[in-house]
């Protein structure tokens, strides 16, 4: 999934769970639950291209803007940490974009296959409408939840 739905899920966990350890476990676990929902999150496949870089930049800025707008100052940095934790499984994959051997390292190889081919078997190719619908509904619901 895109950064924003994962990130807002981490923010909602921060709002509901004040204990750091269970909240961090919930945030990282939430990533895999959301990735299993059919979705679309790249333009032209899973590699570096201008469109994907712009998508990630815009998506990341949207996530940070919503964080700043929706999270009270008292838990702002705790929520940011959990938002990042909810995206951590994707951060682990970043070196593989620049250095393909990253995905051949023991444990990383198994993680990569599970995180992409197994868990997200239904992510591409699909149209943007169907690909964004579950993510849009999730983001809308989470904005509502976080704003109240």
Residue ranges binding Zn ion (CB under 5 A): 35, 89-90
For residues 40 and 14, give the distance between their C-alpha atoms in angstroms, rounded to a whole number. Answer: 26
Minimum CB–partner distance for residue 11 and Zn ion (Å): 17
Minimum CB–partner distance for residue 32 and Zn ion (Å): 8
For residues 66 and 83, give the distance between their C-alpha atoms in angstroms, rounded to a whole number. Answer: 11
| Spatial CA neighbour of 70 closest among 136, 133, 14, 24 | 14
Our CB check for Zn ion shows the closer of 90 and 124 to be: 90
Minimum CB–partner distance for residue 137 and Zn ion (Å): 18
Our CB check for Zn ion shows the closer of 68 and 110 to be: 110
Minimum CB–partner distance for residue 64 and Zn ion (Å): 18
Our CB check for Zn ion shows the closer of 33 and 104 to be: 33
| Spatial CA neighbour of 20 closest among 97, 77, 59, 92 | 77
Our CB check for Zn ion shows the closer of 35 and 59 to be: 35
Minimum CB–partner distance for residue 94 and Zn ion (Å): 11
Range list of H helices, the chain: 3-16, 20-35, 50-70, 76-91, 95-98, 108-113, 128-147
Our CB check for Zn ion shows the closer of 18 and 109 to be: 109
| Spatial CA neighbour of 138 closest among 5, 10, 41, 1 | 5
């Amino acid at each position: 999934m895109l950064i924003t739905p994962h990130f807002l899920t981490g923010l909602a966990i921060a709002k509901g769970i004040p204990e750091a350890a269970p909240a961090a476990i919930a945030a990282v676990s939430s990533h895999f639950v959301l990735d299993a929902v059919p979705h679309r999150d790249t333009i032209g496949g899973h590699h570096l291209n201008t469109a994907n870089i712009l998508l990630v930049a815009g998506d990341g800025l949207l996530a940070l803007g919503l964080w700043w707008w929706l999270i009270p100052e008292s838990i702002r940095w705790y929520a940011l940490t959990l938002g990042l934790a909810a995206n951590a499984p994707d951060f682990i994959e970043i070196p593989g974009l620049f250095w393909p051997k990253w995905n051949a390292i023991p444990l990383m190889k198994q993680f990569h296959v599970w995180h992409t081919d197994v868990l997200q078997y239904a992510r591409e190719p699909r149209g943007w409408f169907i690909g964004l619908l579950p993510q849009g509904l999730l983001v809308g619901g989470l904005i509502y939840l976080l704003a109240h």
